[in-house]
């Protein structure tokens, strides 16, 4: 397997307040109140899924949630609020927009124009998913985001996304089904205003990921994310 490159850590600022809870099971991150979906519509697979079956059933056709395929307990221990603030709290941050289709900076992330080599020692402890797409190489993108934040609908190459702390809700459409969304609208606003008006046949595949679960999405699949809690997560993009 080729060595993974380091993509910019994806970090939404304003994600923590002084005096936030330091409950060890949650890594010191805040629980949110954004609701989960009534029913997960993304297929799930466990550690019994072989690489050949992954290629045959999911790699080029549809997303899947993988459970038990990685053990990132060591990485999780390094991603508590206390540990990350101690290791990376003093670093300067420059913000850029997270919206692929808009020049308005309504949702700002730590994503670009930063010194990401400083995060290398942390990423060395991450155990990536065991599956790869032939002809691609992996690149990591690490993120921390507050409850109610997220990335609006966009698409790119295939990849995996694993939740380390918190919960992250996903919405996915196949490449030939462009979602109805406003490019300057947040995912939370889309969920509140547009989602309820969609007929059942026009609703996306959706599910909520919890710590230790990994979502795989194929090439060019539309997807949007919504963080239900303060979430720590890492994506493996296959370029």
Per-residue pLDDT, averaged over 88-111, amounts to 58
Per-residue pLDDT, averaged over 205-213, amounts to 97
CA separation (Å) from 180 to 23, 48, 221, 238? Answer: 39, 36, 14, 26
What's the confidence (pLDDT) of residue 14? 38
What's the confidence (pLDDT) of residue 21? 40
What's the confidence (pLDDT) of residue 190? 95
Per-residue pLDDT, averaged over 26-42, amounts to 91
What's the confidence (pLDDT) of residue 18? 36
What phi and psi values does residue 189 have, to the nearest 5 degrees? -65, -40
pLDDT at 215 over 60: yes
Task: Enumerate the β-bridge partners of residue 213.
Answer: 67
d(CA 15, CA 166): 12
Greater confidence (102 vs 127) lies with: 127
Instruction: Provide the 3-class DSSP secondary structure of residue 76.
Output: helix
Structural domain boundaries in the chain: 5-15+23-31+38-238
Greater confidence (75 vs 22) lies with: 75
d(CA 6, CA 53): 28
Question: Could you read off the pLDDT of 177-199 as tens digits, one per residue?
Answer: 999 998 778 899 999 999 999 99
What's the confidence (pLDDT) of residue 105? 45
Looking at the chain, the whole-number percentage of residues with pLDDT higher than 70 is: 79
- Helix, strand, coil percentages (3-state) for the chain, rounded to 5, are 20, 25, 55
d(CA 144, CA 155): 20
pLDDT at 5 over 70: no
Task: Enumerate the β-bridge partners of residue 172.
Answer: 205, 223
pLDDT at 24 over 60: no
What's the confidence (pLDDT) of residue 208? 97
Q: Which CATH number fits domain 5-15+23-31+38-238: 2.60.120.650, 3.20.20.80, 1.10.3720.10, 2.120.10.30?
A: 2.60.120.650
pLDDT at 9 over 80: no
Report the candidate in 167, 211, 234 with the shortest Cα–Cα distance to residue 33: 167
pLDDT at 157 over 80: yes
What's the confidence (pLDDT) of residue 114? 57
Query: Three-class SS string for 12-73?
Result: CCCCCCCCCCCCHHHCCCCCCCCCCCCCCCCCEECCCCCHHHHHHHCCCCCCEEEECCCCCH
pLDDT band at 98 (very low <50, low <70, confident <90, very high): low
pLDDT at 106 over 70: no
Burial class from Cβ neighbours inside 10 Å (0-12, 13-18, 19+) for residue 14 reads exposed
pLDDT band at 65 (very low <50, low <70, confident <90, very high): very high
């Amino acid at each position: 397997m080729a060595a993974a490159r380091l993509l910019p850590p994806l970090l939404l600022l304003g994600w923590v307040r002084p005096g936030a809870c330091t409950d060890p099971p949650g890594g010191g991150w805040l629980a949110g109140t954004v609701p989960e979906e009534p029913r997960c519509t993304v297929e799930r697979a466990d550690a019994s899924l072989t690489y050949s079956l992954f290629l045959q059933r999911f790699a080029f056709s549809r997303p899947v949630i993988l459970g038990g395929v990685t053990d990132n307990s060591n990485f999780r221990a390094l991603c508590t609020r206390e540990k990350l603030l101690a290791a990376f709290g003093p670093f300067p941050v420059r913000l850029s927009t997270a919206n692929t289709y808009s020049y308005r900076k309504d949702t700002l992330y730590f994503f670009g124009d930063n010194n990401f080599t400083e995060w290398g020692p942390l990423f060395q402890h991450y155990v990536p998913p065991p599956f790869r797409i032939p002809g691609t190489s992996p690149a990591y993108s690490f993120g921390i985001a507050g409850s109610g934040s997220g990335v609006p609908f966009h698409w790119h190459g295939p990849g995996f996304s694993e939740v380390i702390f918190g919960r992250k809700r996903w919405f996915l459409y196949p490449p030939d089904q462009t979602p109805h969304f406003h490019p300057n609208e947040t995912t939370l606003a889309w969920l509140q205003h547009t989602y309820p008006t969609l007929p059942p046949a026009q609703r996306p595949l959706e599910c909520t990921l919890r710590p230790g679960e990994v979502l795989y999405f194929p090439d060019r699949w539309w997807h949007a994310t919504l963080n239900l809690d303060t979430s720590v997560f890492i994506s493996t993009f296959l370029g």
